[in-house]
Amino acid sequence: MLSGMAVVFAALTTFAIGDSAPSASGDPSQFRVDAAVNGENVSPFDVGSRMLARVAAATTPAVVHIQSERRTRRGTIEETGSGVIMRSPKADGEFIVTNRHVILGAELADIQVHLHDGRVITPVGKEEDAATDIAVLRLKTPGLTFAEWADSDNVDIGHMVMAMGSPFGLSQSVTLGIISAKGRRALELGESREVINQDFLQTDAAINPGNSGGPLVDLHGRVVGINTAIASQGGGNEGIGFSIPSNLVRIIVEQLLEYGEVQRGYLGVRLDDSFDAAAAARLKLDRARGARVVQVYPNTPAEKAGIQVDDVILNFDGYDIEDEEHLIHRVSLTGINKSVRVIVHRNGRQVTLQVVLTQRPAANRRSDAPRPMPQPFPGGARIESSGLTLHRLDAPLAAQLGVSGQRDGLLVMQVPNRAGDDSLQLYDVILEAARKPVRTVGDWDAVLEQQESVQGPLLLKVRRVVNDQPVTRLVLWTPPAAE
């Protein structure tokens, strides 16, 4: 709800016993309700439409459009995304919740927040959590409308939701869909990022580049999730979007506001990421469930609690564990120095242990360490460097270029004029740089950073249309610092 505003839905349609039901192919106006809206009878279709409009109107003022820039030695990278204004007892005034990748590497002065009323403001502080791709932007601006959190545990598959934000920079956009699935984990959608907590809500509400960081709201206008990723062949909406559930976001946000970082529990084990039915049968377990321990690290909470190799952790702190990713998620959300009951399957029987978790080591890379992050939205990102402008390739651009089958790469939008087929040209699609794939602007930036100490031109593999036929070429491009 927005600033205490309640949106109440009631069952308005009633039919008396014996009434003849309108035919499926009849005029929708045949449906009538026994209640009036603004003094006139309306169809239930109108009622539903008006209710959705009320939700959108109440929530939109709390949704913001964000533009950020980060400067590198090779140029400036721009990102666009969305966010939602929230409140918390742990913060002095309102703040914005968004995705970390929307403002990654940007100074506060280089972050512009576009409000619903047309104002453009700059945050006065920021906190980030790489492990969830969540960021908080602190504000000192009066007269802001804020949203409220919903309990994402009470959102079920089939519940209707609305995705709000600025897809392709089109601010104040709203799309409608349902919750398609819950508890999506271990997603492999492309670009790797450090993330521990994968417990995504899946929705078919249309989500596109630029929706990153925007809210997924229920039909009371409350935030049930923060839109973060899509599964797509061409970079656009294909009906599979992912949002971080609100209960997880709230935990992260509250810790960022209070401590400036997220304190995560640490167990100290390595888990079997290919635990299957055969392994379960060998351990006298009825089916593959829980998380099998394959190594216990010394001087860790797991060792002190008596956890052993081949133990299968079935329950952690009251949660039945589905798999190793689920255990990683639960451990990381548990407070440090907390005593937790753990139920393990050992030698055909269940054993109950008590574990006192410690702070996760910063450089830990064991089984309960961060896992790959799903591909975040490109958000309209591009890089401009000494006249060279690149843009991530998508399906519409590929079709216009005559390379419809191409899904990855960076389109050259502007390049300094150089002669010869061995140099970078306008409309080239860069596939590799220094023999490393470049699917995103982030990939390109990473290659350039690694090549800073290398003198001479950069070897690029490009896709180019020659005589109406796409061909692959190796070309040389000299970075600005080497010119």
Positions marked active-site:
101, 133, 212
* Distance (Å, whole) CA 126 – CA 22: 57
Residues 6+ apart with CB under 8 A from 350: 314, 343, 344
Q: Is 375 exposed, middle or buried (0-12, 13-18, 19+ CB in 10 A)?
A: buried
* Distance (Å, whole) CA 434 – CA 445: 12
Nearest to residue 372, comparing CAs of 213, 128, 188?
Answer: 188
Is the Cβ–Cβ distance between 446 and 434 less than 8 Å?
no
Residues 6+ apart with CB under 8 A from 462: 412, 424, 428, 429, 430, 431, 472, 473, 474, 475
Token pair, residue 95, equals 């703040």
* Distance (Å, whole) CA 104 – CA 69: 9
Nearest to residue 1, comparing CAs of 9, 182, 153, 45?
Answer: 9
Token pair, residue 246, equals 């609100």
- Amino acid at position 459, single letter: L
Is the Cβ–Cβ distance between 100 and 232 less than 8 Å?
no
Q: Provide the 3-class DSSP secondary structure of residue 359.
A: strand
